[in-house]
Amino acid sequence: MKMSNRKKTKNQIAEEEFIPKAFQKEKQTIKENNIKTKKASSKRNKHKKENSSKKRNIKKIILIVSLTIILILGIALGISAHQWKSLAKQMIANENSTVIDIDGNEIAKLGSERKQKAISLENMPDNLKDAYVSIEDERFYSHMGIDIKRTGAAILNYVIHFGSSSYGGSTITQQLVKNLTGDSTDSITRKVKEWWKAWQLETCLSKEEILEAYLNIIYVGPNTYGVEAGSQYYFNKSAKDLTLEECAFLAGINHSPNSYNPFEEEDNTEKIEKRTKTVLAKMEELGYINEEEYKQATAQTEKGLTFKKGEVSAGDGVYSYHTDALINEITEDISEKYHISETFAMNYLNMAGLTIQSTQDSKIQDQTETEFEKSKYSIPSKNGGDSSQAAMVIMDHKTGQVVACVRRTRGEENSTFLK
């Protein structure tokens, strides 16, 4: 029968009496040391378990934080991509936005001061499309917005020259992004954003849509945009009627239109011939034209292209002071709303085909401008300084809307309305 205090038996007592006391003491010391060792080992194991648990908790925290950051970045990129696609789809229509007054009358066409005329891809000759693809982006139909081969070469060249050379290697899709956003800064950040936006465009637009938008938006000459307006300017005819060598010329000047302008005082004949033949050679190399077509077009180029300056109509870009103020306000609002530059926002206004309702009452606006033409609002300074200035803002007290505003600038005999 076991007792709680575990009393010693007679045999155990006898054994202990038989063993010398010195040995009994040593045995007791060993026993105590064993107990201490067990306790120390137990503490170490407990400490190891605690450290292991802490490490696991730290790993869990790091994992959770990392996943949270990735999730937030993913959501942010998703929102940014959706926003960019939405803006770009509206802008490739390349239609001027219209401003209407309080009575619904059109009072401004934003961006109409540019000489431009749209043409569908179907109405463009194949030679024109092929010429641009050949000289600007030969792998256009096979990449997803970024030409890895050209981009890699451009980056290597940039590194070799310690950042003193431009990146280059821009695809047609990247150039379209640049034309839409208006961002031409030479920086790594801008280029990375351009790659991202180009890839996004390729996921939501067909190659045909991208090429058509590009060919209708690019700068081709003095205040002239798009191949149709360019054709009218250089050859006084529609792009659909261009010959092979004329198509090659138009595509060839894309990197620097003003350097090849045949209507300038400087004779650019030699440069024009060389560049046009370069494009024709590339078209033959890529199989867009055969050898006979190449020889005929080259011969005609050597004889000299027939340039005939045509006219492309454009607006004067002069708006009422009220409309100017409206444009500035809307541009700032769009920039803040979509987190884009004001240049991008202005391009959006010029190209998205919006209808903007103004609070301008044109009758009152006209009256205020007529009144401010009077010389009494410009009083010369007696000490020879700037003359007086005047301004007027008329509001509808019921709605708080500005229905008219005007300002006379300093030192003008006739009224000048700021823009």
Tokens of 160: 């070799």
Q: What is the mean pLDDT of the chain?
A: 85
Q: What is the mean pLDDT of residues 278-286?
A: 98
Nearest-angstrom CA–CA distance, 125 and 131: 10
Lowest-pLDDT choice from 16-20, 86-90, 121-125, 345-349:
16-20
Does residue 163 surpass a pLDDT of 80?
A: no
Q: Is 373 helix (H, G, I), strand (E, B) or coil?
A: coil
**219-247: pLDDT as tens digits:** 999 999 999 999 999 999 999 999 999 99
Average pLDDT over residues 87-114: 95
pLDDT at 411: 47
CA distance 36 to 117: 95
Helices (H), 243-391: 244-252, 269-285, 291-303, 321-338, 342-351, 362-372
Residue 153, pLDDT score:
78
Neighbours of 73 (CB within 10 A): 10
Q: Write the DSSP assignment of 202-246 as a string of letters.
A: HHHS-HHHHHHHHHHHSEEETTEESHHHHHHHHHSS-GGG--HHH
Q: Give me the pLDDT at residue 259, please.
A: 94
More confident residue, 163 or 308: 308
Please provide the size of the chain in residues: 419
Q: Does domain 112-303 have CATH number 3.40.1410.10?
A: no
pLDDT at 22 over 60: no
Mean pLDDT of 387-392: 79
Which carries the bigger pLDDT value, residue 186 or residue 324?
A: 324
- Rounded CA-CA distance 295/300 in Å is 9
Output b/e per residue, 122-135; b: 16+ Cβ within 10 A.
eebbebbbbbbbbb
Please report how many Cα atoms fall inside a 13 Å half-sphere around the Cα of residue 281, on the Cβ side: 6
pLDDT above 70: percentage of residues in the chain: 82
SS3 68: helix
* pLDDT for res 413: 43
Q: Indicate whether 25 pLDDT > 70.
A: no
Closest C-alpha to 249, from 310, 292, 178, 298: 298
- Residue 414 — pLDDT band, cuts 50, 70, 90? very low
Q: Between 296 and 27, whose confidence is greater?
A: 296
Q: Where are the domains of the chain?
A: 10-85, 112-303, 330-408
Which residues are CB-contacts of 159 (< 8 A; sequence separation ≥ 6)? none
